Amino acid sequence: MPPAASPTKVNLAEKFARFDDHWAPRIAGRYNGNEIRLAKASGDFQWHCHPDTDELFLVIEGTLRMEFRDRVETLGPGEIIVVPRGVEHFPRVPQGEAKLLIIDPAETANTGDPATAFTPTEI
């Protein structure tokens, strides 16, 4: 068995300082086939769903409105929401900017469609 990689800490503030564009996730870490993605968000994203996987959002800073077809959930710093696979959702940040940590399986399209997705890069 090959030796395990040495664990290293990740400073989220330093990672967030490396980019400014909105709704364009960056990969801050990986585990068990999942990507820990960081995104800055402002304004509206788009209606979409992920047919094969759940998606976790953790608000680090700001306010995120997660709209569903039947209701709206508003999240602030330190709050999470898990969107189950196949559930349409519309993330939006109506005022200012939010900083989000999102966990998705590797290669998951942030729009639910690889043709329209932003391909996350390592930071």
Model's pTM, two decimal places?
Answer: 0.89
CATH for the stretch 21-109: 2.60.120.10
Output the average pLDDT for the chain.
Answer: 91
| Domain coordinates in residue numbering, the chain | 21-109
What was the pLDDT predicted at 111?
63
Rounded to whole angstroms, the Cα distance separating 6 from 92 reads 37
pLDDT digits (tens, 9 = 90+) for 94-103: 999 999 999 9
Neighbour-count burial for 85-94, b at 16+ CB within 10 Å, e otherwise: eeeebebbbe
- Render pLDDT for 27-70 as a digit per residue (tens, 0 to 9): 999 999 999 999 999 999 999 898 999 999 999 999 999 999 99
